[in-house]
Structure 1
Amino acid sequence: MKKWLLILFLISYGLDAQDWHAWVYFTDKPNVTSSINNPSTILTARAIARKARHGIVIDHRDVPVNQQYVAAIKNATGISYKAQSKWFNCVHVTGAELDLRALENLSFVDRVEFADPSKSILSTSQDKFTRMSSAPFNYGNASNQIVMMGLDNLHNQDYTGDGVHVAVMDSGFPNVDRMSGFSQLRGQNGILGGYDFVDRNATYADDHFHGTWVLSTMAGHITGQFEGAAPNASYWLFRTEEAAQETPAELSYWVAAAERADSLGVDVINTSLGYLAFDNASESLTYNDMDGQTSFASRGANVAFEKGMLVITSAGNSGNSTNHPYISSPADAQGAIAVGAVDASSQRTVFSSIGPSFDNRIKPDLAAQGGNTAIIDHNDNLRTANGTSFSSPLLAGGVACLLEAFPNLTPQQIRSALEQNASQSNSPDNLLGYGIPDFGLLFQTLSQLDQSTKEVKWHVVNQHLHLDKELYPKIQIYSIQGQLLIDAENSGRIVLTDLSKGIYLLKVDESGKWLKIVNR
């Protein structure tokens, strides 16, 4: 049978000299058990601590790829190496189809999956930039976009992202090492480092300007004229985007950067990029692929979320397209918070990509200002720009500030709290999702929970909440917005199965004692 298959391949593809993108999956990894038992050999102390804080188990996906396998692939005839992924135990390569299929004969190769789904028996597989406290803060040009989200309330409580690590994955960051708009960030050692996953070197402060513009919405500062959303957070800058061309390799660069972020203990990822159409149309993604499980980058975003990172991504700028008005990858991922764009009046912009995902989930998830957003450009000029490329980092900056205030909240708890405390929380749609979050109100609610008594004894068994009815004869459960959902007396037991996933408030008596319930 193998001989007949080989003959068919030669007949069909023998004259095809085109290079194709593909993922080569390996059969195993080295030293998995010992690496997991000694996590300091594969992860930084910060990454280990973050996982422990959120109860996330270190598993085989944290173990690096076998570099002997990688070297063998690099040396294979006709193969060009692009990137590797420990989460998926694979490498991304390009080559002629016959050369790629020949890799399946290697003993350590499990399978080869082509970016062009027509070439894979088991395939999984507009513009990519999704186009374009201390003393009271003087936000200057950035005032509207900060106040719209109530983020000034966190800043005035001195929560500005300090101690939170953010990875920005983009097309390049020219002049961040010399611009006055980032002098405060550099002065506080807020740029932790970076890497160019496209050219595979440590030079990230060049290439396309898009990343610099994005970073300014979070970390820029010009006294009296501009303030970013998280000016005291610390940032890793990763280039994952090749602006000159569109290829599936960018999906793998993205996953490689997310894996690096995880190993470094990053808390928040912002990616103002979206992938759909590639230069080779047969390798392009379609709306059918926007199910959160097909695109390699979307699958990576899901793992990043599982690993304890909040993944914030732009929804896309194709909302007024007649062919594809929908979100792109990785915004379709279940683990990604896709951010749509509103204008200065909190109205949806016409370009903001819409949902639902192909499997009918609400997308985008949230929204922030992406129309006439104030930025600092790569030449140190104050200006405005349009795109979900800028609504995404604004929200990511707000999340960084929230994490500083409540570092023990898990990514799922943060996400649920944002969705339950946004302008459309009671009526989400596929234009703006749950709407614009109100960080000020959310901070007040979570602060009250933090101050609540720890003396109340309660436990949950089989989705039933149990308390001592002699001590607590009256029990009330509220939504995080303050809506009374359950009111019970002399029960001692409340059924939670009717509550959707999210964060709820439990009031146990009239003395003002509140508890937080997270229904998973």
Structure 2
Amino acid sequence: MMKKVLFTLCFILAYTFVDAQKTRVYFKDKGEQLSLLNEANKVLSPASLARRQRHNIPLRENDLPVSQEYIAQLEMLGAKIEGRSRWFNYALVEHPNPTVLATLPFVERLENPKQYKLHLSGTTSTYDYGFSRNQVEMLKGDLMHARGYTGRGVTIAVIDAGFTGVLQAAVLDSLRNEGRILGSYSFISNDTNVYIGGGSHGASVLSTMAANADSIFIGTAPHANYWLLTSENIASETPVEMDDWLFAAEFADSVGADVINSSLGYSTFDDSADNFSYSDMDGNTALVTQAADMASGKGIVVVVSAGNEGSSSWQYISAPADGDSVLAVGAVDFQENYVAFSSRGPSADNRIKPDVAAMGLATTLINFNGEVRSGSGTSFSSPLVAGMIACLIQAQPTRSVAEIVDQVKRSAHQYWTPDNLLGYGIPNFDRAYIIGLDDLAEQKIGSFAVFPNPFKDKLNISFAGEQGTVDARLKILDPSGKVLLEKEHRFSVGSELSLELDLARGLYYLNIETNEGSFSQLIKH
């Protein structure tokens, strides 16, 4: 079944490609590159260093390049270098007898990648012309955009298949004309050509974030910057595509990406004896999951599709959606109902997966001609969330990856009752923005006390400011964001307001806004 999906996505290709056997050669250390540990500017771009400085992430040994001296010795023994990983300190090589490389004193071990089958998490597009209003408003993206947060100044790396259609799409005119495609690279062919011969899956994914055509199609991050990176060879099912994903993630780190979106997943292999089992979806086993978690540790928010196996015998999420630092996105329809194809959780170690969900059925996107169409799959719910995260980072650039991910989860509509279909549910990014203000707001005013908490029928709010009075607007919201009570009140020093509340048992948010800031607290009835 998966081969049929790949064919529908990739019908413009008329050739096949079979990769020769490749080997990962792991090194014991970084050799001569260790001298760069105190020269960060020679290792990473200014944008990457700035992102790390914001999150207090130091330069580590796994940021250093692979030893060029070691690479040269591999080549002297006839190895063809296909790629290299600084994070995991290995080179991917092609050699007729790789065991000879193990005799080198700096080689730690050899590893033969299994024959992984990579599957795209999207399905073929239909010719049903649509607009993006529902998919953006579902995430309250319109409210974030109205606040002025459209992803401007934030960089998203899209790791995917080809981007055919990007150069023709009218809805991406501003992206091209304003120079916000910062660059491209194919880790399949090792060149910058990502627009011809690799299919249009990446273009469809990109458009859900980057489209900017008023009254036709607006993406979730219409003013963000983008790197277009390909790691998926749609004409083959080879083991090295997970390595290529790793190389692309390392590249994204080096150029300063703030967000990675990848609508790719791994679960089955060419040889059924090598298939991942469900127990392997534990957040630690697959190389691509390790790579995604490593990227998160470098200060990049990693957003991936949960997969389209919900109705198949596999049914579970695939790697790297199982990563504990990865935000895995499932799919809902326009009525916010679970879509049966969306892969399910939990992870093998019983963590909530997917993490959140967005519109993945009849999602507005572009096709291989750059035309506005619609398509279905978690491939397209994932970038909707990634684009909104770019808006959130624009609004709150000092928040850490863990804090951003936590805000998104806490904003979702079933945060208090997560399940294995939608995880924490559909995020409300305007609420996530407000949640992100909480710590700062408490530091700014810190003058309100709320008691008792939990409460029965009466909730008391006291003001202990140093002097004068303060005008406040109070709101009580349920977990879905619905305002249950709204009240204005003038507090004086030492005054107290009692609210008699007729609410069902459960958890609620109390929000107090003043001209000095905003105070929010979770309350329980």
Q: TM-score range by the shorter chain?
A: 0.7 to 0.9
| Structure 1 pair 381–175 and aligned structure 2 pair: CA distance change class (3 A) | closer
Question: What is the one-letter code of the residue matched to 1:101?
Answer: T
Shift of 1:102: 2.6
- Kept after mapping to 1: 8 A contact 2:441/2:517: no
Q: Give 1:237's match in structure 2, choosing from 228, 231, 254.
A: 228
Q: Give 2:245's match in structure 1, choosing from 254, 270, 295.
A: 254
- Kept after mapping to 2: 8 A contact 1:245/1:279: no
Find the counterpart in structure 2 of residue 381 from structure 1. Answer: 371
Shift of 1:95: 5.0
- Structure 1 distance, partners of 2:170, 2:443, is 47
2:512 counterpart of 1:514: no
Find the counterpart in structure 2 of residue 10 from structure 1. Answer: none
Question: What is the one-letter code of the residue matched to 1:110?
Answer: E
- Structure 1 distance, partners of 2:277, 2:393, is 35
2:280 counterpart of 1:289: yes
SS at match of 2:357: strand
- 1:62-141 residue pairs with structure 2 within 5 A? 62-77=63-78, 79-94=79-94, 99-116=97-114, 128-132=119-123, 141=131
Runs (4+) off by over 6 Å:
504-507
Q: Give 1:312's match in structure 2, choosing from 271, 279, 303.
A: 303
Find the counterpart in structure 1 of residue 212 from structure 2. Answer: 221
Q: Give 1:414's match in structure 2, choosing from 392, 396, 404.
A: 404
| Structure 1 pair 221–89 and aligned structure 2 pair: CA distance change class (3 A) | same
* Deviations 1:276-304 (CA, angstroms, capped at 9, x unpaired): 22334455433232111111111011110
Question: What is the one-letter code of the residue matched to 2:112?
Answer: F
- Structure 1 distance, partners of 2:398, 2:409, is 18
Shift of 1:31: 4.2
- Kept after mapping to 1: 8 A contact 2:25/2:109: yes
| Structure 1 pair 35–153 and aligned structure 2 pair: CA distance change class (3 A) | same
- Structure 2 distance, partners of 1:343, 1:216, is 19
Shift of 1:112: 1.0
- Structure 1 distance, partners of 2:272, 2:69, is 33
Shift of 1:400: 0.5
- Kept after mapping to 1: 8 A contact 2:163/2:201: yes
SS at match of 1:205: coil
Find the counterpart in structure 2 of residue 303 from structure 1. Answer: 294
Shift of 1:259: 0.5
- 1:78-477 residue pairs with structure 2 within 5 A? 79-94=79-94, 99-116=97-114, 128-132=119-123, 141-206=131-196, 207-322=198-313, 324-447=314-437, 450-451=440-441, 453-454=443-444
TM-score between both structures, scaled by the size of structure 2:
0.79
Which segments of 5 or more consecutive residues in structure 2 lack a partner in the other structure?
1-18, 124-128, 448-463, 467-475, 483-508
Question: What is the one-letter code of the residue matched to 1:112?
Answer: L
- Kept after mapping to 2: 8 A contact 1:213/1:376: yes
- Structure 2 distance, partners of 1:505, 1:294, is 42
Which segments of 5 or more consecutive residues in structure 1 lack a partner in the other structure?
1-17, 118-124, 133-138, 458-470, 484-503
Shift of 1:382: 1.6
* Deviations 1:297-355 (CA, angstroms, capped at 9, x unpaired): 11011110010000000000111112x11111111111211100111111111111111
* Deviations 1:56-112 (CA, angstroms, capped at 9, x unpaired): 1210011000123223334544x554321100000223556xx23332111111011
SS at match of 1:276: strand
- Structure 2 distance, partners of 1:100, 1:83, is 15
- Kept after mapping to 2: 8 A contact 1:305/1:411: yes
* Deviations 1:398-457 (CA, angstroms, capped at 9, x unpaired): 100111111111110001111111011001111111111001222234346545553759
- Structure 2 distance, partners of 1:213, 1:34, is 43
Find the counterpart in structure 2 of residue 495 from structure 1. Answer: none
- Kept after mapping to 2: 8 A contact 1:230/1:400: yes
* Deviations 1:465-499 (CA, angstroms, capped at 9, x unpaired): xxxxxx799xxxx999699xxxxxxxxxxxxxxxx
SS at match of 2:120: coil
Question: What is the one-letter code of the residue matched to 1:90?
Answer: Y
- Kept after mapping to 2: 8 A contact 1:115/1:283: no
| Structure 1 pair 452–359 and aligned structure 2 pair: CA distance change class (3 A) | closer
| Structure 1 pair 126–82 and aligned structure 2 pair: CA distance change class (3 A) | closer
- Structure 2 distance, partners of 1:198, 1:352, is 28
Find the counterpart in structure 1 of residue 502 from structure 2. Answer: none
- Structure 2 distance, partners of 1:387, 1:159, is 27
Which deviates more from structure 2 when the two are superposed, residues 266-275 or residues 21-30? 21-30
| Structure 1 pair 162–272 and aligned structure 2 pair: CA distance change class (3 A) | same
SS at match of 2:73: helix
Question: What is the one-letter code of the residue matched to 1:361?
Answer: R
Which deviates more from structure 2 when the two are superposed, residues 285-294 or residues 259-268? 285-294
Shift of 1:24: 1.3
2:38 counterpart of 1:37: yes
- Kept after mapping to 2: 8 A contact 1:355/1:363: yes
- Kept after mapping to 2: 8 A contact 1:160/1:229: yes
- Kept after mapping to 1: 8 A contact 2:114/2:239: no
TM-score between both structures, scaled by the size of structure 1:
0.79
SS at match of 1:230: coil
SS at match of 2:264: coil
Shift of 1:515: 7.9
Question: What is the one-letter code of the residue matched to 1:405?
Answer: A
Shift of 1:258: 0.6
Using the aligned pairs only, state the percent identity.
40
- Kept after mapping to 1: 8 A contact 2:437/2:518: no
* Deviations 1:22-57 (CA, angstroms, capped at 9, x unpaired): 321001113455322110010111111111111112
- Structure 2 distance, partners of 1:106, 1:86, is 19
- Structure 1 distance, partners of 2:118, 2:90, is 27
SS at match of 1:274: strand
Question: What is the one-letter code of the residue matched to 2:285?
Answer: T
Query: What is the aligned-residue RMSD (CA, Å)?
Result: 3.2
- 1:476-487 residue pairs with structure 2 within 5 A? none
